Amino acid sequence: MPKSALSFVCQNCGAAYNRWQGKCDACGEWNTLAEEDITGATTMPVSIRSKRKGRLFTLETLTGQTQDAPRLSSGMTELDRVTGGGFVRGSVLLVGGDPGIGKSTLLTQATSLLARAGHRAVYISGEEAVAQVRLRAERLGLADAPVQLAAETSVEDIVATLSEGTVPRLVVIDSIQTMWTDTVESAPGTVTQVRTSAQALIRFAKKSGAALILVGHVTKDGQIAGPRVVEHMVDAVLSFEGEGSQQFRILRAVKNRFGPTDEIGVFEMTGLGLREVSNPSELFLSERDLGSPGTAVFAGIEGTRPVLVELQALVAPTSLGTPRRAVVGWDSSRLSMVLAVLEAHCGVKLSGHDVYFNVAGGLRINEPAADLAAAAALVSSLTNAQLPTDAVYFGEISLSGAVRPVAQTSARLKEAAKLGFGRAVLPESTRGDVGGDAGLSLNTVAGLTTLVADIAARGQSRSGKATDPEKNATPARFRRQDG
Ligand code: TYD
Ligand code: MG
């Protein structure tokens, strides 16, 4: 009896099993196994398996002539920044993100701009009808762009159509989950279909030299066959993020064979589509609660760009046995570490308090340099002492309570000065890096204890003389920038 071709495939990671089980051993997800017919995907007909000896090819050295990958600018600076300077010919990009975040909007804008610039740009929608895509383009004011549009889902038909005429410079497939190919039996949307369809499309891109963008939905529960399996096959993976309730959208490279992965592109979703935000600091600081306790401005670096962002902390006595620690936009173990250092070295008792921590604007911070600003926000909230409204903070905190230097001090200071800040609180050992005139007054701290004492003193003097106008006034420099 022939072995059954049916198999159970994890819809999260693509691992295959020959019987059903509740948990995938490979990725640890529960309830992600689905029955699939993977005949065509895994076994090749005997007639194709050849008996010939392998072809000989020449092996190269690492040195030698290299050409820069030919790039095509998308016409959107923020998108180009994340891809590393534009779309590379024959490369494949996967754009992931939650449904409704704005992937189709972003790619409609990008294809339209390319088409307007005279390139052949194709947009294939497997989710929406042509009329819906047209409506969106109209809303974006791009209806006149000569984009080639289709609502198709058959990979064979798509590849055949694209192979006709001049090679397209950009092909958008929205989304890869809706694509299906005749070569495998599984239902559209299953891992096997997604993987095989992606393979066929990628083969077309590599052969023709067209840049290909695949859109993929990511759901946390792993219900839709994730683009996870596709991630390994593509050249770059971009993730489009943002809080649904907020207007900001951040495009981030998770993987990039042709460029850096630490750059972010910042967009704002408006009624007229995505607007590029070339100065993110203004965005992340625009709605500051000037001078309320628990907020500190962090002078950070995203990729090559300095970004000023507000950190917010709320420290409140707990009513639970185990105090709550809730973090949005920062690493929770990093927060625990800062809290532990505050307790151990600075005598700040936080074990009886709930701690809530938030990075404003939906940004996600990965830099250790945020430690000092986070600590300042936490202590400020605990002591109810407002921090100076014209100060920025940066520096890494070590477990011993020392404040360690971080890279790119002058870029951070320049951005702060540009936005009207008057002083910076920074690690003592970086003073040398600053050079001559930093444009703002520098308040260096060697250890976290100094910072805590400073903030606590502010709180006390404020509660002593609550009406002191000097202390609570918004500094003139910041007022001008804010107004
Ligand atoms: P869409 O690009 O369809 O998201 P995705 O392809 O990632 O699922 O965008 C969906 C949301 O964007 C939708 O809720 C409406 C909003 N939107 C705007 O606010 N302004 C616009 O100009 C457009 C086109 C969409
Ligand atoms: Mg969409």
How far, in whole angstroms, is CA 372 from its chain's centroid? 23
Supply the residue whose CA is at minimum distance from atom 25 of ligand 1.
Answer: 273
Rounded to whole angstroms, the Cα distance separating 303 from 262 reads 5
Q: How far, in Å, CA of 297 to CA of 311, rounded?
A: 6
Using an 8 Å Cβ cutoff, are 290 and 334 in contact? Answer: no
Q: Whose CA is nearest to atom 9 of ligand 1?
A: 102
Pairing between β-strand 273-276 and β-strand 170-174 as defined by DSSP bridges: unpaired
Ligand nearest to the CA of 136: 1
Residue among 95, 103, 104, 105 to mutate when testing ligand 1 (max atoms within 8 A of CB): 105
Q: Which atom of ligand 1 is nearest to the CA of 269?
A: 19
- Per residue, the 3-state secondary structure of 358-413, as one string, reads EEHHHCCCCCHHHHHHHHHHHHHHHHCCCCCCCEEECCEECCCCEEECCCCHHHHH
2-46 tens-digit pLDDT: 555 668 888 877 788 888 999 988 888 888 888 877 665 555 555
The string of pLDDT tens digits covering residues 274-323 is 999 888 887 777 666 667 889 999 999 988 888 999 999 999 999 888 89
Q: How far apart, in whole angstroms, are the C-alpha atoms of residue 299 and residue 309?
A: 7
Q: Can you say whether the dihedral through the CA atoms of 447, 452, 453, 455 is positive or negative? A: positive
Phi, then psi, of 232 in degrees rounded to 5 = -75, -20
- Measured in Å, how far apart are the chain's first and last C-alpha atoms? 80
Residue 251 has which token pair? 């495009």
Q: What is the total residue count of the chain?
A: 483
- Expressed in angstroms and rounded, the spacing between residue 371 Cα and the centre of ligand 2 is 37
Is the bond preceding 175 in cis, omega lying within 30 degrees of 0? yes
Three-state DSSP state, 168? coil
Please give the distance, rounded to the nearest whole angstrom, from the Cα atom of residue 97 to the centre of ligand 2.
10
Query: What is d(CA 332, CA 354) in angstroms, rounded to the nearest whole number?
Result: 14
More confident position, 283 or 231: 231
pLDDT tens per residue, range 191-223 = 888 889 999 999 999 999 999 999 988 765 434
Q: What is the pLDDT of residue 191?
A: 84
Report whether pLDDT(226) > 60: no
- Going from the Cα of 178 to the center of ligand 2, the distance in angstroms, rounded, reads 11
> Whole-angstrom Cα distance, residue 27 to residue 15?
8
Q: What is the CA radius of gyration of the chain?
A: 27
Dihedral pair phi/psi, residue 185, rounded to 5°? -85, -20
pLDDT of residue 4: 54
Looking at all shown ligands, the one closest to residue 269's CA atom is 1
Residue with structure tokens 């700040």? 348
In the sheet that holds 441-445, the strands lie side by side as 325-328, 353-359, 305-317, 295-302, 391-393, 423-427, 441-445
User: Atom 11 of ligand 1 has which residue's CA nearest to it?
Assistant: 100
Map tokens 């020392």 to a residue.
Answer: 402
Q: How many CB atoms lie within 10 A of CB 466?
A: 9
Q: Please name the helix (run of DSSP H) or strand (run of DSSP E) that holds residue 216, with its range, or none.
A: strand 211-217
Atom of ligand 1 nearest to the CA of 99: 8
Beta-bridge partners for 16: 9
Pocket of ligand 1 (CB under 6 A): 97, 99-105, 136, 139-140, 269, 271-273
Could you say which ligand is closest to the alpha carbon of residue 107?
Answer: 1
120 has a pLDDT exceeding 90: yes
Identify the nearest ligand to the CA of 139 by its number: 1
Any idea which residue has 């604007």 for tokens?
361
Q: Cα(312)–Cα(204) distance, rounded to whole angstroms?
A: 48
pLDDT of residue 419: 84
Distance of CA 122 from the midpoint of ligand 2 (Å): 15
The string of pLDDT tens digits covering residues 336-381 is 999 999 999 999 988 899 999 999 877 889 899 999 999 999 999 9
Q: Is 377 exposed, middle or buried (0-12, 13-18, 19+ CB in 10 A)?
A: buried
Confidence of residue 49 (pLDDT cuts 50, 70, 90): low
* 288 CA → ligand 1 middle, Å: 27
Residue 466 in this model has a pLDDT that exceeds 50: no
The minimum-distance atom of ligand 1 relative to the CA of 127 is 6
pLDDT tens digits, 389-425: 889 999 999 999 999 999 889 889 988 988 888 999 9
Q: Ligand 1, atom 10: nearest CA belongs to which residue?
A: 100
CA dihedral (300, 306, 307, 311) in degrees, to 10, reads 20
As residues whose CB is below 5 A from the ion ligand 2, the structure lists 104
Q: Hey, which residues does 252 pair with through a beta bridge?
A: 239, 264
Q: Ligand 2: distance of its center to the CA of 230 in Å?
A: 18
What confidence category does residue 467 fall into, taking pLDDT thresholds of 50, 70 and 90? very low
Q: Is the pLDDT of residue 168 over 60?
A: yes
Q: Which amino acid is at 465?
A: K
What's the 100 CA to ligand 1 centre distance in angstroms?
6
Task: Specify the pTM.
Answer: 0.76
CA–centroid distance, 222 to ligand 2, in Å, is 18
How far is ligand 1, taken at its centre, from the CA of residue 101, in Å?
6
Q: Are 10 and 32 in contact (CB under 8 A)?
A: yes
On whether the CB atoms of residues 248 and 310 are closer than 8 A, the answer is no
CA dist 252 → 17, 47, 170, 261, 264 (Å) = 34, 45, 20, 7, 5
Residue nearest to atom 1 of ligand 1 (CA): 102
Give the per-residue pLDDT at 283: 74
Per-residue pLDDT tens over the stretch 61-110: 888 776 666 888 988 999 999 998 899 999 999 998 888 889 999 999 99
In the sheet that 33-37 helps form, which strands lie side by side, from edge to edge? 16-17, 6-10, 33-37
Is the model's pLDDT at 471 over the cut of 60? no
Q: Specify the residue with its C-alpha closest to ligand 1, atom 22.
A: 273
Instruction: Give the pLDDT of residue 351.
Output: 87
pLDDT value at position 115? 94
For residue 128, the ligand 1 atom closest to its alpha carbon is: 3
pLDDT in tens, 131-156: 999 999 999 999 899 999 999 999 99
Site of tokens 């910042």: 266
Check if the beta carbon of residue 306 is closer than 8 Å to that of residue 281.
Answer: yes
Q: Which residues pair with 249 in a beta bridge?
A: 267
Confidence of residue 472 (pLDDT cuts 50, 70, 90): very low
β-strands 305-317, 295-302: how paired? antiparallel
